[in-house]
Chains A and B, each alone.
Chain A
Amino acid sequence: MDDLSTVLPFLLGLAWLLPLASFTLIVLFGPRMGKHGVAASYLATGAIGFGFVLSLVALLAWVGAHGVSSADHDFNTSQAATSEAHDEHGDDHGPAQHGGHHAVKPPKAYTAEWYTLGQFGKLKITISYYIDALTVCMFAMVTLIATCIHFYAIGYMHDELHDVTDHEVTLSDGHHLHRPGRFHRFFQYMSLFCFSMLGLVIAGNIAMVFVFWELVGICSYFLIGFYIERKSASNAANKAFIVNRVGDFGMIIGLMALFASLGTFAFGDGKDDEGKPVHGIFSQVRNPDNNYALQAPDGMVRAAADNRVRAIVNDHFQEASEELEEANLAAPAEPVRTRPDFDEIHAASESEIAAEIANWREQGYGYWLLVIAGVGIFCGCVGKSAQFPLHVWLPDAMEGPTPVSALVHSATMVAAGVYLVGRFYPVFAPEVLLVIAYIGAITLLLAATIALTATDIKRVLAYSTVSQLGYMMLALGVGGWAAGMFHLITHAFFKSLLFLCSGSVIHACHTNEMPKMGGLLRKMPITAYTMLAGCLAIIGAGVPFLIGFSGYYSKDSIIAQALSFQQHNPTHGAVFFYAAAGGAAMTAFYMFRLWFMTFAGQPRDHHVYDHAHESPTIMYGPLVVLAVFAVVIGWPVLGVVDLVEQARPAGETGSGVLMASLVYPDEHASHAHGIHVQATLYAFSTALGGFLLATVFYGLRLLNPNDIRQQFGAIYHFLLNKWYFDELYDAVFVRPARGLAKLVSGFDRNGIDWLIDNLARWTRGLADIDDLIDRYLVDGLVNLTAGWTYSLGRSLRSVQTGKLRQYVMLIVIGTVALTILINFASAK
């Protein structure tokens, strides 16, 4: 088992780097890979497929070593082994356990650095890994879903193998855009996307997370804007990118707060070059000596009590200076020192500060910094996981090809945000969790209501994703760490399934509009039934207390946790519980509305219906695989939730410091019989209610939805226009920004350009004067000299007669004359 600490990083690291290799090869040789680059897809699929095999091996190795369950029976052995690994390799996160602390134990994790990119003083940028049960599960989930999507995309992106005429792009000459296919480019970005997501999951420090966070962002930008010539696609890509930047701004603030006060980016504990232990973020925030309870770390307290620290240092300096002065006065003949001993002052003030820190923590110093760090990190997750108020990019991201939507919406981009909240869970203070829960609840309701009225099949699914992500955030926010992570995994399976099914439908119908579909069950039964499985999974269908689809288990645990939370915090808890329950009902309604409108009833548009056909094997194969997983992944017998549970952060959330009334119950409390039964019944009845309502409206057509629509026209239009969020943001942010830009450009044009123009004019005038001076003064002088020389030469010309005898005579006469002159001169 101790070799797990070398095997796991190797397996997962290889699985992580394979897509990068595939990306690099496709970038370099993509267009030359087979006919029209068709081999690029085999390469990318092979890379991620092999990555899945490696991840599966890693998962099995983990299970083999640590077992599936998180129960205490294997606690002693595994703990002993991890301590051993800790000693031998120094890369094991898990401080030694003392006998009495059985209740609180740290998650088993392996962490170490692979490579140091650079060290600048305290700032150390490394490529490191942090592998715990959650990492292993995420790797298996991401690679499995990505593999399915890759296979599916080979079929779906078939059109890109030859030249494409894009009917949605009209050129200025009235023709449609005709361009070469971009098959290989699609798989190139898919590979990069997988690499980025896996890097994000395996990252062992928050700086590396941030790098891959941005890489995921840029990949989604590339893929959403795959049909870049379409205005809507390029707008959607820009929107996704810019909205994410807003969230990342908060994340950078969180990063700065963490790094400035803790001095490290690493999650887990490590060792520095000299072998001294370095505490990572987690163990600084939750100190093992403090029974893993959340407290503001020393660094944060110190950073927050900056003025106190300065006062202490000042006092010591003053004292030392006075002492020195006295000593000097006493023996003025030989001054002891000229300045006080700074090392001594430093040591004295450090020891006083260390003694004071606990005191300051009592007074609340540092806690705010912890809250800011948590909220900042969560801001990034809000952007990436499309939470209110930054949810607007996700539905627009539907402009990308459907496999991209499936990948973005299930395993990669949006999962990244929830994953990071889960990974950073130890750092979040109860107040931050409350914010997370509220954001999740708002998002959940908001998106669910919009999904009720959307008619674009992919948009319904997109809003459903936003809503489910809200569920996860809500679960995490009410203390249901395992529930949220579990729902992340189950949701990834059924949402990728649903998206791929919708892609199959779109592939067959060439339209996204559900009102044009209908009756497709007869034409494409496999798609219809796999999608039915996905719908049942997402609404959490099941036989209560017996068995159910995967969503049944994860959603139940969320509602149970919300109920458990409500028992301790009636006001907040009620909001969360009703949001969760209402969301469940709406989910059931809109999902079955989608299914009935698409597959059931009579065809509404015969033109579409006649062309529809079942997709090729390569497309429905992944559907079947994903459908199986969507059904079974939640079954307790597979132990996914227990496996995730192994990575549960140590320590309780406890109660708030700023809001003392806020109490977080232990998540295990939600498994209590009373709560669990209640939650299951609530979940089942709400889902059933939604399902029946959808059946009444769209399945059996007992009621006409149009009547309801007319009855509640205002609400209908409000929802149809997505709560006018785009319009609101347009009015509040986009227009002012553009107005400001216009103002600035006006200033540029009229102010700065005017200045520059005038400067240029003045310079030209000056140059003209220079020119005159040059021409008349300088040139005149030169010409005058030349003229003189010329005329001198002309006048001397006549001497040069060419008569040899004359020259001789001149020489003689000259010599004689010189001699006479010299004689006269010397005579004097």
Chain B
Amino acid sequence: MDLLSQSVGVSHFMVVGAIMFVSGVVCMATKRNALGVLMGIELVLNGANVNFVALSSEFLTKDPRGGIGLDGQLISLFVIVLAAAEAAVALAIVLNFYNNHSTIDVDRADELKG
């Protein structure tokens, strides 16, 4: 209950990031639609981005030196770029999957099972 009484700091952002992360994971685990799964992935990645940004901000941390050493904003930009690239690849896979199976239900993609 401390969080509610404090002024906004890193912890609050981390809670938001954690919520986003868990939401993303749940989305990935529950959605059968491939696009839904991709959205879950985006949530997971951006949950992490929130953490990066928060932890590297000298306005949010109490540590006067601030940051985690690397500029968090820069890393989150990288993550966004990677996410875009990943989305492009994943969408291409989905498109192909659709071409072959006329569906994007990931449960139907079990051809590699042992």
Binary contact readout B7-32 vs A (1 if CB under 8 angstroms, 0 otherwise):
00000000000000000010011111
B110 contacts the other chain (Cβ, under 8 Å)?
A: yes
Binary contact readout A804-828 vs B (1 if CB under 8 angstroms, 0 otherwise):
1100110010000000000000000
B113 contacts the other chain (Cβ, under 8 Å)?
A: yes
Given A802-B109, A803-B107, A808 and B29 touching (CB < 8 A)? yes
Chain A residues with Cβ below 8 Å from B106 are: 803-805
**In the complex, how many residue pairs between chain A and chain B have their CB atoms under 8 Å apart?**
35
B43 contacts the other chain (Cβ, under 8 Å)?
A: no
CA distance A798 to B25 in the complex (A): 24
Q: Which of A796, A801, A804 contacts B37 (CB 8 A)?
A: A804
B69 contacts the other chain (Cβ, under 8 Å)?
A: no
Q: How far is the CB of A694 from chain B (nearest CB, A)?
A: 118
Please, which residue of chain B has its CB at the minimum distance from the CB of A806?
A: B29
A73 contacts the other chain (Cβ, under 8 Å)?
A: no
Please, which residue of chain A has its CB at the minimum distance from the CB of B110?
A: A802
CA distance A797 to B112 in the complex (A): 11
User: Cβ of B113 and Cβ of A812 under 8 Å apart?
Assistant: no
Chain A residues with Cβ below 8 Å from B25 are: 808, 812
Most buried by B among A796, A805, A809, A812: A805
Binary contact readout A788-806 vs B (1 if CB under 8 angstroms, 0 otherwise):
0000000011111111110
Q: How far is the CB of A816 from chain B (nearest CB, A)?
A: 10
B111 contacts the other chain (Cβ, under 8 Å)?
A: yes
Chain A residues with Cβ below 8 Å from B109 are: 802, 804
Please, which residue of chain A has its CB at the minimum distance from the CB of B105?
A: A804
Chain B residues with Cβ below 8 Å from A800 are: 112-114
Chain A residues with Cβ below 8 Å from B107 are: 803-805
What is the interface size of chain B, counting residues whose CB is below 8 A from a CB of the partner? Answer: 15
CA distance A809 to B26 in the complex (A): 9
CA distance A797 to B114 in the complex (A): 5
CA distance A804 to B97 in the complex (A): 14
Please, which residue of chain A has its CB at the minimum distance from the CB of B40?
A: A808
User: Cβ of A802 and Cβ of B32 under 8 Å apart?
Assistant: no
Chain B residues with Cβ below 8 Å from A802 are: 109-113
CA distance A797 to B31 in the complex (A): 25
What is the interface size of chain A, counting residues whose CB is below 8 A from a CB of the partner? Answer: 13
Please, which residue of chain B has its CB at the minimum distance from the CB of A797?
A: B114
User: Cβ of B29 and Cβ of A809 under 8 Å apart?
Assistant: yes
Chain B residues with Cβ below 8 Å from A809 are: 29
Please, which residue of chain A has its CB at the minimum distance from the CB of B30?
A: A805
Given A802-B109, A804-B37, A812 and B29 touching (CB < 8 A)? yes
Given A808-B28, A812-B29, A798 and B114 touching (CB < 8 A)? yes
Please, which residue of chain A has its CB at the minimum distance from the CB of B106?
A: A804
Q: How far is the CB of B1 from chain A (nearest CB, A)?
A: 22
Chain B residues with Cβ below 8 Å from A799 are: 114
Please, which residue of chain B has its CB at the minimum distance from the CB of A801?
A: B113
CA distance A797 to B110 in the complex (A): 13
Chain B residues with Cβ below 8 Å from A803 are: 106-107, 110, 113
Chain B residues with Cβ below 8 Å from A798 are: 114
Chain A residues with Cβ below 8 Å from B28 are: 805, 808
Please, which residue of chain A has its CB at the minimum distance from the CB of B27?
A: A808
B39-95 contacts to A, CB under 8 A, are none
CA distance A801 to B109 in the complex (A): 10
CA distance A178 to B5 in the complex (A): 127
CA distance A513 to B63 in the complex (A): 135
Please, which residue of chain A has its CB at the minimum distance from the CB of B28?
A: A808
A151-202 contacts to B, CB under 8 A, are none
Q: How far is the CB of B107 from chain A (nearest CB, A)?
A: 6
User: Which 8 residue pairs across A and B have the least CB separation, nearest first?
Assistant: A802-B110, A802-B113, A800-B114, A797-B114, A804-B106, A808-B29, A808-B28, A809-B29
**Residues of chain B having any CB pair with chain A under 8 Å:** 25, 28-32, 37, 106-107, 109-114
* 12 pairs from A and B in contact (CB 8 Å cutoff): A796-B114, A800-B113, A800-B114, A801-B110, A801-B113, A802-B110, A803-B106, A803-B110, A804-B106, A804-B109, A808-B25, A808-B28
Known: A800-B113, A803-B107, A805-B29. 14 other contacts (CB 8 A): A796-B114, A798-B114, A800-B112, A802-B111, A802-B112, A802-B113, A803-B106, A803-B110, A804-B37, A804-B106, A805-B30, A805-B32, A805-B107, A808-B25
